[in-house]
Amino acid sequence: MVSYRKRGNAWQYEISYKDRDGKYKKLRKSGFLLKSEAILAASKVQTEHPNLLTVKSGSESLVSYYQRWIKVYKQNAVTPITYNKYENTAKHAIELFGDLKLKDLTKLIYQERLNKFAETHARRTVSCFHKQLRACILEALDEKIITTDPTRKAVITGHERPKIAKTLNYDDWTTLLANLDTSKIGEMIIYLAAVTGMRYGEIVGLTANDIDLDKHIINVNKAWDYKYKTGFMKTKTHSSIREITIDQQTVYRLRNFEKNHSLSPSQPIFMNSHGHILVSAEINKILTDRLSALNIPRITFHGLRHTHASILLYKGVSVLSVSRRLGHSNITTTQSTYLHIIKELESQDQDKIISILENASK
């Protein structure tokens, strides 16, 4: 039911409706110079919000709605790590949007705040932030809390990370290995990555029980959540569970590392005395400093995995063996990742084939 009355020099509309508990509520708005303007505004509200409950919901802040949304829709539906990402988005949203109400969010405001976020973050991070926030806003649109999509056609920008080399060449790889002080936790981690191709989470998830130095084998059966610190977790894929054969030099270094550190059978061997495991930023800094000291081009820690695989392929190890050592789910993954190397080796093979045929016909 709608009624209109004049208050001083302005008109007001009043709409009566029932809330979720069946109690009557009133929605009022004044300040219209003409009665016809009040009638038009009331009609618009009733059209856009048939049950009128969503009008009040529009006064909730974007951040508050997002926090409720992830708790209802995501908390028990995604992994703790993924949920942590949604919570990080909430923290950024608080800084960017503050107490801004859902009903006051416009395309211009959304784009301005997204651009501000992009000033200090990589494009990929901005894209993830936008994707999670937009999913929540579209839910508000479905509920008719808002009537338009302020995220539609949003432009994603961000800092492009400087390009760095993906792998080391053979000489730089051997130089790095020879100059690592593997009595130190960080440099032992780097050494293992370079000679096994293991992922960072797999390495820092190793316990003493996972290493059989007599058989020269490292068992990869779990990983460590170094980013969100939730403890041990499953490997990336089932095929990531594998045995990796190691050489005598690696066995020697691991034995010395064990002598210099008090290791618990069930505790990660690279956890320090304070219960801390290096996060990716810390291990990458150690690697960068070591490479710089040796005058070797900078690569990321993950680049050690690519370096290991590339060197094995160049040295004639089969793609299948490399794939299994890396823990890829199938050989196609390995082939697509190292296609440039495989093509180069194929070209060399063609030369070998011609040489063999020419020698056979003499």
**Assigned token pair, 89:** 């988005």
Six-digit token pair at 191?
A: 């050494």
266 vs 51, residue with greater confidence = 266
Whole-Å CA distances, 306 to 164, 221, 287, 309: 13, 21, 15, 5
Q: Please report the pLDDT score of residue 28 as a whole number.
A: 79
- Going by pLDDT thresholds of 50, 70 and 90, the confidence category of residue 361 is low
- 98-107, 207-216, 293-302, 337-346: segment of lowest average pLDDT: 337-346
When the pLDDT of each residue in the chain is averaged and rounded to a whole number, the result is 89
Q: What is the pLDDT of residue 20?
A: 63
pLDDT digits (tens, 9 = 90+) for 55-112: 455 688 999 999 999 999 999 888 887 888 999 999 999 999 999 999 899 999 999 9
166-182 confidence digits (pLDDT tens): 899 999 999 999 999 99
Band the pLDDT of 279: cuts 50, 70, 90: very high
Q: pLDDT value at position 159?
A: 83
Question: What is each CA distance from 95 to 115, 266, 316, in whole angstroms?
Answer: 13, 40, 53
pLDDT reading at 298 higher than 60: yes
Which residue type sits at 200?
Answer: Y
> What pLDDT is stored for residue 120 in this prediction?
92
Q: What pLDDT is recorded for position 305?
A: 96
- Cα distance between residue 131 and residue 118, in whole Å: 14
Q: What percent of the chain has pLDDT above 70?
A: 93
Q: How confident is the model at residue 21 (pLDDT cuts 50, 70, 90)?
A: low
